[in-house]
Every structure is written in C-alpha cells, then in structure tokens.
Structure 1
C-alpha cells in the first residue's frame, strides 16, 4: 500500500488541510481577497507556500475552500435544534444567520456578492446556501422541506431581503444585532401569513408568546447562546 493510501496518512492530510482552512478563515475574516498574497498566507500559517498549492492548487482554490467551509458552518448554525418548537427554530435561524455574518464578514460578503468577481463556483456556493436556508426555514415553519413552488418563491424573496439588509447592517454596526433580527422576523411573519393565503396547506405557525421584540437593550452578548428573547 502506498504511503498516501495509508489510513494514518490520509487522516493527517485531512487534518492539515483543515488547519490551513482554519488559518485562512482568520486571515480573511476582515481582509479582502486582494489584500493577502500567497506569501502572506504561508507566513501566517507557518508553512511553505508549496504546501498551500499542494492542497488547493492556487489562491482562488484556497479561498473558495474557505468560503465553502464557512457556508457549511452557516447552514449548520441556522439549522438550530430540531427539538425546539417551530417558531423558536425560525427565530434562532434568523439570529444565527446574523451572528455568522457579523463574525465572518469577509466570507459572508463573498457568498452574497461574489467577492472575487462573477464566478460560476461562487454562484453555485451561493445557490447551495439559499437552498439550504430556505429548506431550514420551511422545516422550522411547517415541519417539512417539501413545500409548494409558490411558498418556496415567497421564502426566496424574503431571503433576498435578508441578504441585502444584512450587508447594509454590516456597514452600520452601531445598530445592535437585535434590530435587524427583529426586522427580519417581522418580515418573515408577514411572508408566512401571505404564503398561507396563497397555499392554505402551508399554515403560518402561531406567534411565540414568549418572544418580545427589540426594546433597546445594547448588551446583546452572544445572541445564539444568551438571548433571553428567543
């Protein structure tokens, strides 16, 4: 058996690749794609530049791997706990989405706007995010992912609003996370009510009696873990 085929070698290769992606996520967290050279990346990672080329072929491949890793985290965060009540799952999905965007701004901007210019691979990543999030919201709202086309269309329209409202908020973070969260939740409530009008088989979930909209509290903390409103 060749060395590269040995289980231990394969596991170490996966670990090294994951380490490089983790380093890249930190480097690109608030730094544009063009601002970092491969020499900069190798120096920060403490590896020879050739190792990065070995795993990712080029800078673009490395950056796309970082974005894909970020996407996986975003969808996982948004999925929330399947044991939670439906309404609470929807609220947590919105909150987790905003929290991710706030703490992974560069990757988020790439996912939504392209980041490295129009690219079919970046577009495919964005489409996968949208599909995953729409399915997550549908499951949270209706307990299922197979919804009528009109319901999916309405949720995609709401998600487009989510994307651009979030981008605008990232440029004005004097507004706490609770403000865009509550705006988006209310917009989603209207969307779900409208879906019910057009597709009665998709009734909007009842409002959560425990949820309270934003009241001006400034110390949001870690919203995913600490928010008492959700």
Structure 2
C-alpha cells in the first residue's frame, strides 16, 4: 500500500481514515495481522497518535470489524418499494456480490481469530440479528406470522446463507444465479411448512 501524505484532519476524519486503512489491509491479510505500525506509516502519523484514537490494538481491530459490518449492512439494505420476494432476492444478490468483492475481509472476520473475542462476536451477532430482523419484518406481507418458531428458523437460515456463500467462493461448482436461487428458495422451506413453502414458491414463478 502507498503511504498517505500527512494532512491536517479533524479528529473524526483522522479516526475514519485509520479505520478505512485498516479495512483495506484486512482485504489482504487476517485481522490479527493488521499492523498498527503499518497503518500509522500509511497515514503518515506516529503510532502514539494512532493510540490517541484507539485505546489498544484490539480496540482498533474492533473498530475495523464494526466498519466492515456496517458497510455490508448498508450494501444489503432492502429496497422496501419492491414486493417481499423481490426484496429478498435483491438483498441476497447484494450480499453475494458484496462477499465476492470482499472475500478475504469477510472470511477473515467470520472464520478468523476475531470470533473468539466476546465483543467482536457480539458485533457479528448484531449484524446477523439485523439481517434476520429485515427478513422477519417482511414475512407478514406474504402471510407468514413472525412467531418465535419462524424467527428462530430465519436466524438459522442466516447461518446457512453464510456457509453456503463461503463454500461457493472456495469451490464454485454452480453459477452465481444458482447460488442465489438456492439461498432464496431455502428461506420459505425454513420459515413455513413444506407444503406452504412449495405453494408460495410455485406461485412466485
């Protein structure tokens, strides 16, 4: 990476710059190898100044995780002007494309040592919960009551989405479109009874 020429920034701008540089580095290496020394050099600041904005290396890494999580949620935000099944399909398209474009960062966060840290794990769970809540909020529009069983099923489906997408990235034996269809059609089967799910999907074609 190129060293950024040092310029005067507000505290908010400098902090955002350091997090952005960390997120870029995460695309090339695991989170635990994101170096505060290299980030400080790239930003043209001292290591001591970096720790003025972050209390520790772990705090800096946590800020990177939150940044990447927020970016993914922004990229996959639903277009509520569409019909519910179209919202789901578009959201999954955005998710698969985001993970494909940010494969190293995403796999590092999901599978790396960060998952053993309670606060980072909490951030992952918050991201998953937001994704699940978006889906659950649309279910009543297609006649599915969002009860405890359905909500639990959707949370499980989120884990399936993550695993299926990562497995596909490692060994893409099916097309992107086939992956998206697999993920989309799995949700009604999880959230509804088999017969109801088949009827809904059949009616959507």
TM-score range, shorter chain: 0.7 to 0.9
Question: Corresponding residue for 1:164?
Answer: 163
CA distance in 1, matches of 2:149, 2:175: 33
Count of matched residue pairs:
195
Q: Post-superposition shift, 1:90?
A: 0.6
State the distance in 2 between where 1:207 and 1:69 align: 39
1:76 to 74, 77, 81: 74
Change (3 A) 1:13 1:35: same
The 1-side partners of 2:173 and 2:196 are apart by: 37
Matches within 5 A, 1:143-158: 143=141, 147-158=146-157
Q: Comparing both structures, which one devotes a greater share of its residues to helix?
A: 2
**What is the correspondence of 1:55-204 to structure 2 with a 5 Å cutoff?**
55-116=53-114, 118-143=116-141, 147-172=146-171, 176-194=175-193
Partner in structure 2 of residue 23 of structure 1: 21
Q: CA RMSD in A?
A: 3.0
Give, in angstroms, the shift of residue 173 of structure 1: 5.0
Deviation of the 1:51 alpha carbon: 2.2
Q: Distance in 1 between matches of 2:17 and 2:117?
A: 26
Q: Distance in 2 between matches of 1:160 and 1:147?
A: 18
Inter-partner Cα distance in structure 2 for 1:173 and 1:46: 41
Structure 1 runs, 4 residues or longer, greater than 6 Å off = none
165-174 vs 53-62, which moves further: 165-174
Deviations 1:193-222, CA, capped at 9 Å, x for gaps: 428969xxxx9688544xxxxxxxxxxxxx
1:91, CA displacement in angstroms?
A: 0.6
Give ranges in structure 1 of 5+ residues lacking alignment: 1-10, 210-230
1:108 Cα deviation from its structure 2 partner: 1.9
Superposition pairs for residues 4-19 of structure 1, below 5 Å?
12-19=10-17
Shifted more, 135-144 versus 148-157: the winner is 135-144
What are the ranges of 5 or more consecutive residues in structure 2 without an aligned counterpart? 1-8
1:79-126, Cα deviation, whole Å (9 max, x unpaired): 221112211111111112212222223432244235335111111011
Q: In structure 2, the residue corresponding to 1:79 is in which secondary structure? A: coil
* Structure 1 partner of 2:5: none
**Separation in 2 of the partners of 1:157 and 1:97?**
17
Alpha carbons of structure 1 residues 143 and 73: separation in structure 2 relative to 1, 3 Å: farther
TM norm structure 2 = 0.80
